[in-house]
Structure formats: structure tokens, C-alpha cells
Amino acid sequence: MIIKLHKGDITKMSVDTIVNAANSSLLGGGGVDGAIHRAAGPELLVECRKLNGCPTGKAKITNAYNLACKHVIHTVGPIWKGGNSNEANLLKSCYKNSLKLAEAYKLESIVFPNISTGVYGYPKEEAAKIAIETVMTKSLKLKHLKEITFCVFDDTNYEIYQKLLKDII
């Protein structure tokens, strides 16, 4: 299993699947969700309309249309409400359910954005710890996935991930 850290735009990544930090309507939005829908083209929204949304912590998969990857896994992160509203478990579930779905589709590579750390306001360091811990724990049991990448977009997340991953290694 290879775990990578990449700084840049997730929509440019040619892997089996990228993960979208969506909202429960799955009908697009701002941030990484908006960027993914813009780059994929309008057919992505047409497919998403048929999915009837997605609860927080769960994940659904679609085609990737004009993107360089093959699939998009849409997951819905929790909105940060101070930490006592099951946010940590829900965020953990986003990573777990996305990996489970990728495995079910026999995918070999997946890229995660920093789910919930933008508009949804999850504290970045806490979110990074959950992301890394969940992926590391789950990765021991995966059959098909060979490469998991954390795609960071802002400098703060880049520094946090660099430090946490270095500490683990």
C-alpha cells in the first residue's frame, strides 16, 4: 500500500477515483464539489440527480465524464457544530465508506480531499488526524486498493499533513 500526499487541484488527478466532499443533495455546490462538477461537465449532475441524495457519512459512486479519473465517489462530511454532534464519527465514516465503495468496485487508486475542512468548518488538524488514522487502519484490510492519496489544496492543510505523516513514518 502506497500512501501519498499531493498538493494541488484534485480535478487534475488521473487515478481510478477521486472523492468529492459533497453536500447531502449531491446536486453540486462550491469548493471542491463545484470544481469537480465544472471539470466533469453537466452529465455528472444528470447522474447525481438519479441518486436521491446521500446522508452525512455515507458515500455514492458515479462516472467521471470529462475528468481524468474513472469514477467519482461522493461523500458528505459533517458540518462542524463544536464537536459534540458526532462529527468525528461521521467524518471517520466518510473515509471508511469511500474506501469500502472503492474496494467493491475493485479500484486500485483513490484520492481524498480534506473533507469538511472548508465551508463545513471542521478544525483542520483534527480532521487530518481522523483522515490519516482511518485510512491507515483500513488500508491493512484492503484487497484491491494499492494507492491512497491525500490531496491538500491550502498551505495549512499541507503543513499539517506533512507533519502528521512524517511523525507516523
User: Binders of ligand AR6 among 38-97, rule CB under 6 A?
Assistant: 77
> What are the two backbone dihedrals, phi and then psi, of residue 83, each rounded to the nearest 5 degrees?
105, -10
Q: How far is the CB of 2 from ligand AR6 (least distance, A)?
A: 19
132 binds ligand AR6 (CB under 6 A): no
123 binds ligand AR6 (CB under 6 A): no
Give the one residue of 120, 130, 134, 150 binding ligand AR6; rule: CB under 6 A. 120
Q: What is the DSSP pairing of strand 2-7 with strand 147-152?
A: parallel
Residue 167 designated active-site: no
User: Binders of ligand AR6 among 25-44, rule CB under 6 A?
Assistant: 29-33, 35
Give the list of residues 6+ apart from residue 15 with CB closer than 8 angstroms, or none.
69, 70, 109, 110, 111, 147, 149
Distances (CA, A) of 90 to 84, 93, 96, 106: 12, 5, 10, 24
- Pick the catalytic residue: 9, 16, 33, 155? 33
Residues 57, 22: Cα–Cα separation, whole Å: 11
9 binds ligand AR6 (CB under 6 A): yes
Residues forming contacts to ligand AR6 in the complex (CB under 6 A) are: 9-11, 21-23, 29-33, 35, 77, 113-120, 151, 153-154, 157
Active site residues: 33
